[in-house]
Amino acid sequence: MKKFFALFVAALLFVAVTDSHAQKAFKNPMYLGGEVGISMPLGDFGDGVNMGFGLNATFQYYFQRNMSIVGFLGYWSYGTDSDDLTISNIPFGAGFRYEFAGGNIVPFIGGDLCFNNATIKYDSEYGEWDDSELKFGFAPAGGIIVKMSPNMDLVGTARFNIISDMNNFQITGGLRFRM
């Protein structure tokens, strides 16, 4: 595994150095965007929690024509079988995207590292109780970018969030705008 990681980093550095001339021709490499979507809890998390809904605000910076870093902040809410119990998550983190060559439809793969502020609230006849916990997670991701105009793209993403006892699969869609 260490050899694979070292080889991956070396290849990434090689591509970054050899393709630096293309960066000069690449203007406005920053995007702002937003996504909405669904989240399907998995494993033990899925046993007690129903499907969730949420949104993410995103920032994307291209350091090469087909490679970028992504920053995001979101809010996700999950349903339960009890009206008195609510579960939410505020993820914030960063990721990497690699885009494959394409025309107006561009597939991509990547991964995210994030912190998740998970909150559980319970209302009872004796009062309200809540608890928050900060959890680290990572998520392999993939999706497509559909170029709508020179300054606006439609983005669809699927990611498998691995967050200790809150694993889930998300499907999101949204728009991003060139800055």
The answer to whether the beta carbons of residues 73 and 93 sit under 8 Å apart is no
pTM: 0.81
Least confident of 40-44, 56-60, 72-76, 171-175: 40-44
pLDDT of 13 higher than 60: no
Which 3 state secondary structure label does DSSP give 28?
A: coil
List, for residues 106-143, the tens digit of each pLDDT value: 999 999 999 999 999 998 888 889 999 999 999 999 99
